[in-house]
Amino acid sequence: MATPATENSLAEALKGRTLVLASTSPRRIEFFEKLGVPFLARTGDVREHYPDTLTDGREIVQYLSRLKARAAGPLAPQEIIVGADTLVWADGRPLGKPRDEQEAEATLRALSGRTHEVLTGVTLRSVTDEESFCCATRVTFLPIDPQDIRYYVSRFSPLDKAGAYAIQEWIGETHIASIEGSYHNVVGLPTAQLYQRLKKFAVRG
């Protein structure tokens, strides 16, 4: 009989290291808890702006994830920090967090009946190494009735969400026709890709 494993392969790779999440987002903390490894969460002061020369969504989210990873303070020799940033990309431009309910409704009207991309950039950083990657998921909405848009905006909290929606909420349950790629990426963190990348980085970095 095989000996039961007392820890997963990522925990084994991280032996002697400290994993740090550069975020206090409840959703990202919940995802990190599901990785099955101990971690700390801390953030620094980050202005989420990027140079005008960056016009590709994949480059933008990786740039912002690097800002977050670097802003979380000096790293101890044993630490590996993870920074992440997610945005919705439609019609060749980013759709960020809406400033008010009117903007949230306008964003959802723009996404109604169409396909967009959810992009998450992730940066892994240690005192000796740094790497970034991007995960992309294509999401297609069914046509959304204006009444349903108003209902969602008034009953839920779209103002803190890129693209003015959360796939795990009512609007995702009732109006998303299809997803191509990682579901968890749309929620906020591509955990499968992160798990594999972290294992390799922990050995190398």
Give all domains of the chain, ordered by start, each with its CATH number: 9-204 (3.90.950.10)
Is 80 exceeded by the pLDDT of residue 4?
no
Q: What is the pTM of this model?
A: 0.91
> Does residue 85 carry a catalytic annotation?
yes
Q: How confident is the model at residue 1 (pLDDT cuts 50, 70, 90)?
A: low
Mean pLDDT to the nearest integer, 182-205: 93
**Mean pLDDT, rounded, of the chain:** 93
Helices (H) and strands (E) in the chain, counts: 8, 7
pLDDT at 9: 96
Mean pLDDT to the nearest integer, 45-54: 82
For 82-91, how does the pLDDT look when each residue is reduced to its tens digit (9 = 90+)? 999 999 999 9
Other Cβ atoms closer than 10 A to 7 = 11
Q: How confident is the model at residue 25 (pLDDT cuts 50, 70, 90)?
A: confident
Mean pLDDT to the nearest integer, 122-134: 97
CA 154, 158, 164, 170 torsion: positive or negative? negative
Whether the Cβ atoms of residue 146 and residue 125 lie closer than 8 Å to each other:
no
Identified catalytic residue from 52, 56, 85, 145: 85
| Residues in contact with 62: Cβ distance below 8 Å, sequence separation at least 6, in sequence order | 121, 122, 123, 132, 133, 134
Separation between Cα atoms, residue 65 and residue 61, nearest integer Å: 6
